[in-house]
Chain A
């Protein structure tokens, strides 16, 4: 039986946060303001998304579900862009993160909803949005790492890449080591997550299902499925983003085009 929470329950848990703020004031850590503000933000954001989901679940509209998914991609794309030290100029700055993410997470979500999770209708926001969100969030981390490695290694290895190109190497050949490193680093989060789950961490979704009263066996099966979906989407997204990034860092004359990055 799922247990429901009263506002009193939440109030009791918030006492801990007030304790933290008190500590910060006492020890002059200076973080109490940020602590309170971020806590308020969290409460407001989650409450809002709660209402949005409530509304979406009542509507079950493919249009509004799709729009919500796009907004999520928009935020995630912005997040990737903001994390890069140097980024691509123009629409590529945003598109290189958001494009592969939309494609990979979208494809994998649709694949899962149509073949493994039998929701009716298949796009039902109760299933599609949480699923899409989990996949998107993980793809975002991978793509962000992959692109970051691609750009910083290209800048660092600039002399070596240009030396090869000057000797007549194609861009594919000159960039192969950098591309490999970038893709490898994009894969690391999902590898770590899979290796650690169950021992170091109990994945949030599984824990949530168990708290909601689902049998652990069922929750585990669901979690394994999700991990595979996340892994698939991360892989596709990282590959697309890194290859597109490498393509954009060079041109059809096989030149290195660091001028397409924003200034440091």
Chain B
């Protein structure tokens, strides 16, 4: 379980929030209110103050990289550091399996990153995080560039991830998706975070 006793990112404060294993919680709010900030703060990617723990282990006891391997943030803007797709994956066999599920062409791993469409990039960065088997996924608009069919496949895989004991926090503008995956939402408004049922 991901437990947030207190988390302060700039002027945004999150108090007493629990994310049990197997549960997904949506993060909602208007553009620019700080939805991504919450995710980035939880992943410890930006300076923040607070007490966060995973399965009873405090974040401050772990190094940044160790924490982020368990609590992995996937940004809305995909980042690539090599020229060819396959060089970004630790477990290529597993990645190829997931790519099939996500309706990606077989030969995509041999393509240069520059030739990928937005939707392909989005699915591939999600796969990149999934093959590392994190405990918690922090997803920033994971399906914003996908068609209905691909979105359904991604959501299906995310449900499998939850059933296997993972948990996730995701930003979405699609209320339908929020309801399909989560029962609660963290709603940000005027610098305050409110927990609401969906």
Residues of A within 8 A of B (CB): 157-170, 174, 177, 251-257, 259
Interface presence of B78 (CB below 8 A): yes
Does B80 lie within 8 Å of A163, measured CB to CB?
yes
Interface presence of B73 (CB below 8 A): yes
Interface residues on chain B, size class: 20 to 34
Residues of B within 8 A of A (CB): 43-47, 63-66, 68-69, 72-75, 77-81, 125, 128-129, 132
Q: In the complex, what distance in Å separates the CA atom of A242 from the CA atom of B81?
A: 20
A159: chain B residues at CB < 8 Å are: 75, 77-80
B65: chain A residues at CB < 8 Å are: 165, 168-170, 254
Does B74 lie within 8 Å of A166, measured CB to CB?
yes
Does A162 lie within 8 Å of B75, measured CB to CB?
yes
Most chain B CB neighbours (cut-off 10 Å) among A158, A253, A259: A253
Other than the given A163-B80, A168-B132, 12 more pairs (CB < 8 A) read: A159-B79, A162-B45, A163-B81, A164-B79, A165-B64, A166-B68, A167-B68, A167-B69, A252-B64, A254-B63, A254-B65, A256-B45
Identify which of B45, B47, B63, B80 contacts A166 (C-beta below 8 A): B45
Q: In the complex, what distance in Å separates the CA atom of A177 from the CA atom of B83?
A: 13
Does A166 lie within 8 Å of B75, measured CB to CB?
yes
Does B69 lie within 8 Å of A161, measured CB to CB?
no
B112 vs chain A, min Cβ distance (A): 14
Does B73 lie within 8 Å of A166, measured CB to CB?
yes
B79: chain A residues at CB < 8 Å are: 158-164
B91 vs chain A, min Cβ distance (A): 12
Q: In the complex, what distance in Å separates the CA atom of A198 from the CA atom of B160?
A: 70
A263 vs chain B, min Cβ distance (A): 16
Q: A158 — nearest CB in chain B belongs to which residue?
A: B79
Task: State whether A255 and B75 are in contact (beta carbons under 8 Å apart), knowing that A163-B125, A167-B68, A167-B69 are contacts in the complex.
Answer: no
Can you report 15 A-B residue pairs in the complex whose CB atoms are below 8 A from each other? A158-B79, A159-B80, A160-B79, A162-B79, A163-B78, A164-B81, A166-B45, A166-B74, A166-B75, A167-B68, A167-B128, A174-B81, A177-B81, A255-B44, A255-B46
Q: In the complex, what distance in Å separates the CA atom of A223 from the CA atom of B169?
A: 64
Q: A177 — nearest CB in chain B belongs to which residue?
A: B81
Q: B66 — nearest CB in chain A belongs to which residue?
A: A168
B83 vs chain A, min Cβ distance (A): 11
Q: In the complex, what distance in Å separates the CA atom of A259 from the CA atom of B9?
A: 14
Top 7 closest A-B pairs, CB basis?
A163-B79, A168-B69, A159-B79, A253-B64, A254-B64, A160-B79, A160-B81
Q: In the complex, what distance in Å separates the CA atom of A157 from the CA atom of B63?
A: 23
B44: chain A residues at CB < 8 Å are: 253, 255
Q: B63 — nearest CB in chain A belongs to which residue?
A: A254
Q: A251 — nearest CB in chain B belongs to which residue?
A: B47
Q: A163 — nearest CB in chain B belongs to which residue?
A: B79
Q: In the complex, what distance in Å separates the CA atom of A67 from the CA atom of B172?
A: 61
Q: In the complex, what distance in Å separates the CA atom of A168 from the CA atom of B44?
A: 11
A251: chain B residues at CB < 8 Å are: 47
A121 vs chain B, min Cβ distance (A): 51
Q: In the complex, what distance in Å separates the CA atom of A168 from the CA atom of B67?
A: 7
Q: B90 — nearest CB in chain A belongs to which residue?
A: A167
Most chain A CB neighbours (cut-off 10 Å) among B65, B75, B125, B129: B65
Most chain A CB neighbours (cut-off 10 Å) among B69, B78, B79: B79
Identify which of B45, B80, B128 contacts A255 (C-beta below 8 A): B45
